[in-house]
Amino acid sequence: MRNLFYLIKSIPFIQTAFNYYFDIKNREKEVCYGNENPNNFFYVIGLPDFACGLWWIINKVIMHIAYAEDHGYLPVVDMLHYHTQYHNPEDINEINVWEKFFEQPLSVSLDDISKSKHVILSCKKDVPNDKYLMGNTEFYDNPVRLKYFQDIFKRYIRFSRETEMKLQEMRDSVMPQDVKILGVLCRGTDYLLKKPKNHPVQPEPQVVIKDAEAIMKKYGCDYVFLATEDQDILDMFKSHFGTKLKYIKQNRVTHEQMKNVNRLMSISSKSNRDKYLMGVEYLSATYILSKCHCFIGGRCGGTKGVLLMNDNFEYKFIYNLGFYE
């Protein structure tokens, strides 16, 4: 049935009609909930996305905040009515899950605007328009563009108190004091095995290990901290670096487990683990990377997160290997 749906949808006329319908349905709209705050325009960022990782969600919020700021709107993030893989069943339509991980951008909640006169509901696109697009090229290659999004992040994205405490505890548990650490982000699983079209090509782990070894020697790093969701890659790094390797304990996936699924989310979403803690693990890895002295990684959502939190490394190298076709 699903294949029949996509076959029918691919017919040019029907495809045009579908696109027109969804453009109208998902476009930005203004609503009035009452007469309060008549001088303020609140911009509610609600993006339905059950498939994406937490940093991609954060990056989309940042792009919408940039748009809101340009238009004089006050951003409010809605993950109460829009659900993600980080919602526990009991959270659905009960808890604004954004507020588990982060404070609201301007400390204004959905309750605070429930009777407001001017409320702008964001469009449901990942980015309002191309002016605010991070992208997979300019974000990394244009220092001015990177600085623009870093500034948005620093002014609007703040971890919740509980999340901040968990991140610091995790950092303290794996990072020795008074030593130099090379942070490495090595994305595997669905990227290396499935090679998703138009996504950045990820470096082979053998190449990353060789590069990490050279950087450690050149910059006098004592340890490597590895962030990866791929158990096979972790095992390769363990074999090479031994006691010099640091990493957090988290659920990882083997290549064998990925054989019959297309996306990592297909496995993680079926897990019975607490979704908030699952998200904190992911944030912890990138948070610790941002505290390292040097950093290397492939182009992916996690690497964007690291650079948003810190672009003042003694040395950094971001692989630029093109895109999967």
Q: Please tell me which of 207-216, 246-255, 266-275, 316-325 the model is most confident about, judged by mean pLDDT.
A: 207-216
Residue 268 pLDDT class (50, 70, 90 cuts): low
Strand order in the sheet with 119-121: 29-31, 119-121, 42-45, 74-77
- Contact (CB, 8 A) for 64 and 139: no
Convert the pLDDT of each residue in 135-151 to its tens digit: 989 999 999 999 999 99
Tokens of 87: 């919602």
The pLDDT score that the predictor gives to residue 2 is 47
Token pair 């290396």 is at which residue?
192
Give dist(CA 207, CA 224) in Å, integer: 15
Residue 259 has pLDDT above 70, yes or no: no
Residue 252 pLDDT class (50, 70, 90 cuts): confident
Q: Which residue has the higher pLDDT, 2 or 164?
A: 164
Sketch the domain layout of the chain as residue ranges.
32-154, 161-318
Residue 265 pLDDT class (50, 70, 90 cuts): low
For the segment 180-206, the average pLDDT, to the nearest whole number, is 85
Lowest-pLDDT choice from 71-75, 90-94, 129-133, 262-266: 262-266
The pLDDT score that the predictor gives to residue 24 is 66
Token pair 């590069």 is at which residue?
211
Closest CA to 230 of 212, 207, 256, 210: 256
Residue 267 has pLDDT above 80, yes or no: no
The pLDDT score that the predictor gives to residue 220 is 98
Residue-averaged pLDDT of the chain = 89
C-alpha atoms less than 13 angstroms from C-alpha of 15 in its C-beta half-sphere = 5
C-alpha atoms less than 13 angstroms from C-alpha of 199 in its C-beta half-sphere = 17
Give dist(CA 71, CA 76) in Å, integer: 14
pTM for this one? Answer: 0.87
Tokens of 244: 């010099």
Phi, psi of 2 (to 5 degrees): -60, -45
| Sequence-distant (≥ 6) Cβ neighbours of residue 225 within 8 angstroms | 174, 175, 181, 182, 183, 184, 246, 247, 288, 289, 292
Name the architecture of domain 161-318.
Answer: 3-Layer(aba) Sandwich (3.40)
Q: Which residue has the higher pLDDT, 282 or 21?
A: 282
The pLDDT score that the predictor gives to residue 4 is 53
Convert the pLDDT of each residue in 213-224 to its tens digit: 999 999 999 999
Distance between the two ends of the chain, CA-based, in angstroms? 28
The pLDDT score that the predictor gives to residue 266 is 46
The pLDDT score that the predictor gives to residue 320 is 95
Convert the pLDDT of each residue in 14-71 to its tens digit: 666 655 555 666 789 999 999 999 999 999 999 887 778 899 999 999 999 999 999 9
Residue 113 pLDDT class (50, 70, 90 cuts): very high
For the segment 97-126, the average pLDDT, to the nearest whole number, is 96
The pLDDT score that the predictor gives to residue 94 is 94
Closest CA to 261 of 275, 250, 271: 271
